[in-house]
Chains A and B, each alone.
Chain A
Amino acid sequence: SQTIHQWPATLVQPVGSPLSLECTVEGTSNPNLYWYRQAAGRGLQLLFYSVGIGQISSEVPQNLSASRPQDRQFILSSKKLLLSDSGFYLCAWSVLDRERETQYFGPGTRLLVL
């Protein structure tokens, strides 16, 4: 069966520090991968998605970036965090299931920027 891992679960970082969040998927090959952010009181905002190694599409211009160095690894990064980067970050993968691509989410990383 497929599983998705995210780490760390919780992270407190000072403003201006770098960020690296990692997501890995097991049990599947060539998944579509996604990074979302849930800010307080808001819905899920798609940040990046990837349909293959080295292929990244950015949805929202910001100081975050994503990379996919391996088939089942997706990394979210920042060189300098802002206070507004605080939120709950979710990695997801999708598979052709039922009638369409269905996305399945990881456990999430709670980021607090102080």
Chain B
Amino acid sequence: DQQVKQNSPSLSVQEGRISILNCDYTNSMFDYFLWYKKYPAEGPTFLISISSIKDKNEDGRFTVFLNKSAKHLSLHIVPSQPGDSAVYFCAASSGTYKYIFGTGTRLKVLA
């Protein structure tokens, strides 16, 4: 049972435009959400997080939106840059040390 789902395995966006990566979850106990970026043959790097008491968190070009009623979060990257090309994972936790990760979305930013 996949509690965290990233239904789009890949996404292509033109440089300078907005990239929107989506993530859905099923467990209503999740109260903390994170996005990680992963290049090939490297470990994931932390990008941005959001607590369930908020619906938006912004850090530079990256903004995460949380819609608790829909059990949906999204990562917006504006403007997209070629260096943003990577696999993006969303993760969720419910007050424990454990994260549940999605399967990832491969973003390709076209120059």
Contacts and interface: CB of A to CB of B under 8 A. Distances in A.
Interface of A: 6, 32, 34, 36, 41-46, 49, 51, 59, 88, 90, 92, 94, 98-108, 110
A102 B98 contact: no
A109 to B, nearest CB: 10
A44 B49 contact: no
Interface of B: 4, 6, 32, 34, 36, 41-46, 49, 51, 89, 91, 93, 97-104
Given A43-B104, A100-B93, A105-B44, 15 more contacts: A43-B4, A43-B6, A46-B100, A46-B101, A90-B43, A94-B97, A99-B32, A100-B32, A100-B49, A102-B49, A103-B34, A103-B99, A104-B46, A105-B36, A108-B43
A45 B6 CA distance: 15
Contacts of A98: 49
20 contacts: A36-B101, A43-B4, A43-B6, A43-B89, A43-B104, A44-B99, A44-B101, A46-B100, A46-B101, A49-B97, A88-B41, A94-B97, A99-B51, A101-B97, A103-B99, A105-B36, A105-B43, A105-B45, A107-B43, A108-B43
A107 B45 CA distance: 10
B42 A107 contact: yes
